[in-house]
Structure formats: structure tokens, C-alpha cells
Chain A
Amino acid sequence: MNIQFRETTESASPPTIKTAIADCDIHPARATRTELYPYLAKRWQHHLDVYGVHAYQGMMEGPPYPKAQPNASRRDAYPPEGGPQGSSLSFMQQQHLDPNNVQLGVLNPLGTGQGIRNHELSAALCSAINDWQIDKWTSKDKRLKASIVVGNEDAMTAAAEIRERAGDKNFVQVLLLSRNVEPLGQRRYWPIYQAAEEAGLPVGVHAFGFGGNPITPSGWPSYYIEEMVGHSQCQQSALASLVLEGVCERFPKLKMVMIEAGFGWAPSLCWRLDKVWQRLRSEVPHVRRPPSEYIREQVWWTTQPMEDPERREDLLDVIEWIGWDRLLFATDYPHWDYDEPSRVLPPGVSEANREAFYLGNARKLYGITA
């Protein structure tokens, strides 16, 4: 017999999924350090060249890369034309958007202008990132939608940026990070929520950030693996703060999305919050209903990184509790802990729930019609 083989360079491309999906957490990257300069005033270009940026924290957590893979990204996601993973639209289309049948992709740029101590620089960088998202991404591929990146520590300027972008169909949410100088529910951040509510835009709270506090409540950990699990602790604190400080009560139309911190912890957080609220309600009389009620009405969750329980059906129990209408599928492309769309759900999920999970919920929340 003759032997058939084919030499390939990119063998084992993952099986393509036929189901149309939304990917509610895509991370576009800049190809070069100065890629934002065309969107920055000369004053800030010079400032960056001379002084750089100063985050609220030193090189303790966050900036030191690679983090598990180069740039914390898939090793196979380097664009052929060079540059870091996530910096090429054409390669993103070829590697991810087309084969995975992504119908809606929500961009969440990281390492932007958030968490920078110089608030004017922070505002300028965030605004530049927003212009860049339109120019380089959303105007070139209609599947992609951007998040309004705001200088989170100066809420008045952040609110101004939201108002300026409100109504622009390139943007579908406001992007905050979970690690800030103060817990997210505190009043210094309220102008952001007010502006987002007025604009009808959900606020996405993405795990990460450079607030200056350690990632765990008990201090700086030794290992990256601790940072990985720290994100969910951090997100729980952020969510508790948003409810207990009265943000949900004060801004009842505000929608929030918990991004990239898993969701398996949601039921137990709600149970604990409700239990202590029954006993300590008089301390926070502005929280007029059980905390879980606010969360059920105002919070959505992106799926990645999905918990991976030993018995896969356990995941379905958690989803049942959260609600099939509350989860937004996300891959985290091009980051290394990417979730492969065809592999995340156990079998036995109804067609209606699958559709909601993969696409319907996201379209509804972000107001994207088919």
C-alpha cells in the first residue's frame, strides 16, 4: 500500500464549532509601544518618552510578564507579521473569529491607562485607547465591539469620557477593573455608575488592575498560581462592595458584568451575603432587599475561566442557580487560559440554553441584533 501523509505547519487546528457564539472577553493588544501616539497629544507622547507611567503599585504583581506563557498569551497566537499576541486583526480573524464562528466579540483592552497615578495622563491614555479601538478594530470588523476604557481613579473625568462616547454604536460597555485603590462600591466611583446608567451601558468589571493592594486579603502571595485564584476573591469583594455600599440600590438600571473571574463562587457568595444581611441589616439600611436580589437583577457573568469540576454535571447545578440567562460566553483570546468554545459545556444542555449561553444573552445585554 502507499502511505498518505501531509506535512503541515499548523496541524491540529481545534475542531470548528458550528454554533454561532459571542465572545465577551477578547483582549486586543498594541503592536508597538508607540501605537497609541497618533491618538495622544504631543504633550503626552513626550511625557511617556521621558517619564513613562506610574501605577499605584510597584512591580509587585501585575506587570511582570510572561505569566505562564509569553505575554500571558497562547503560544500559538503570535501574528505571522510579528508583534505580540492579539495585536493583529487579520490573524485574530483567521485564528479565532472565523473558525469559532464568533458573531459578536467584545474587546476589553488591558494594560491601558487605568490605575495610573497621574490622572491627566490616565484620562489621555484611556481616551486614546478608545479611539484606537474604533480605528484599528471595530471599524474594520463589524463583529467586534469595544468597551469604553476610563480612568477609574478620577471618576469625574471617567464620567466625562463615558458621556462623550455614549450613543456611539462602536461601544457596548464601560470597562472597570476589580483591583482599584478602594473597593468599587465606594462613593468616589459613583459618577462612573451614574454616567453608565444614563448611557444605558453595562459596566464590565474585569479581574485585574493595579490598585496598589495585594491580590489576596492576607497579603502578597509567592506564586502566580495564587494570583490566579486571587482574582475570584477580589471579584467577590468588589461585588459585595457594589451591593452593600448601595450602588445597586442607587442605580437600579445599572447592569454589571463580572468578567474573567469564574462564576462558581456566585451562589455561595449570595448565600453568605443574604445570611449576614438578615442579621446585620440595620448597619446598612440603604440595602433594602436581600443582596442576592440585586445581584440576580443587575449582574451578568462571563464564563471564562470556567470552573472544571471533577463531576462535570456539578457545573450545571451552579449554572441552574445563577440562571441560564445570566452567563455570557467568553474565551479570553488570546490569553493563555483561553476556553475552547466546543469543549466547555457538558452534554445534556437543552438547545435553548446552549443558544442563550453562547450568544443570546450577550446579544440581549449588549443590544446587538442578529
Chain B
Amino acid sequence: MARHVIAPVDEFPPGTRKFLEIDGRPIAVFNIKGEYFGLSNRCPHQGAALCEGPLIGLAQSKDPGEIEYSRLGEIIRCPWHGWEFDVRTGQSYCDPRRFRVKAYPAHVEPGASVVKGPYVAETIPVRVESNYVVVEL
């Protein structure tokens, strides 16, 4: 699994997302309250750019009339047909066995670790003293 440095942490604040193409694959990376998540940016249903949709919460109900709305900002809703997926896992709540979005681990690594070895970003000048967001693909 190759690691891809996509941005310095201070250029990728909470509440923002980045759209990337890595090895020809469309990917979106989210910073949700300081945690980073990578998802395939293609809806498994009909291929829309999934991550251009809004981040919403999860509406669930144990009984008619009882609505729990939780996990605000952690569910991505497709801009076309409204299919919802968990940003953390790519899981669908409608049909989790048949439909899921490929999730790519994204996390922060210190510059010292990303400049060593083969993991050199081509387009981002890596300063060893900074931290970087890295996607594994």
C-alpha cells in the first residue's frame, strides 16, 4: 500500500475537503473535526461525484415518531440521488452488503517520516518540521 502525501496539515483545516486523482482514481479527503478520511469519489450507484454532496447527520428511528439524529457531519449524501454513506467506513445504511464506497485510510504523519524512504511528494514541498496528511492507496 503506497502512501501519498496530499497536503500540509495547516493547509487542510477542519470542515474542508480536497478532491484528488491518485493513480487515475478519483478520491476525496475530508477533515472532519481534525480527523481525516479518504473516500472514493464515485458513487457505487450510478457514478456521480459522490463527495460533492453535503455532509449530513444520521437519521435513525427505533419507532415511528422517534427520531434520533446523530453523527452530524459524518455522513456523505450523493449529489444526485441522495444515497448516504458513512465517511468513516464507506458503509451504506440502505444496503450495506451490496453497496459500499471504497474508503482509503487518511492520517497525519510527521514530515520526518514522509521525507524518508520512497515517500516523496512531487508537488508539495515537504518541510521536515511540518505534519502532513497522507492517504494510503
Contacts and interface: CB of A to CB of B under 8 A. Distances in A.
A3 B20 contact: no
B76 to A, nearest CB: 11
DSSP majority for the A interface?
A: loop
B26 A8 contact: yes
A337 interface: yes
Contacts of A75: 52-54, 79-80
Interface string A1-38: 11111111111111100000000000000000000000
Interface stretch (A213-221, A283-291, A338-346, A355-363): A338-346
Given A11-B27, A12-B26, A3 B49 contact: no
A13 B47 CA distance: 8
A340 B46 CA distance: 6
A5 B80 contact: no
A1 B2 CA distance: 10
A2 B41 contact: no
B18 interface: yes
B87 interface: no
Interface string B45-63: 0111111111000000000
Interface residues of A, number: 27
B22 A4 contact: yes
B120 A7 contact: no
Interface of B: 2-6, 18-23, 26-28, 41-42, 46-54, 79-82, 118-123
Given A7-B18, A336-B81, 5 more contacts: A6-B21, A11-B26, A69-B82, A75-B52, A338-B81
Interface of A: 1-15, 68-69, 74-76, 336-340, 342-343
30 contacts: A2-B120, A3-B2, A3-B3, A3-B119, A3-B121, A4-B22, A5-B123, A7-B18, A8-B19, A10-B19, A11-B19, A11-B21, A11-B26, A11-B28, A11-B49, A12-B26, A12-B42, A12-B47, A13-B49, A14-B47, A68-B82, A69-B82, A76-B48, A336-B81, A337-B81, A339-B46, A340-B48, A342-B47, A343-B46, A343-B47
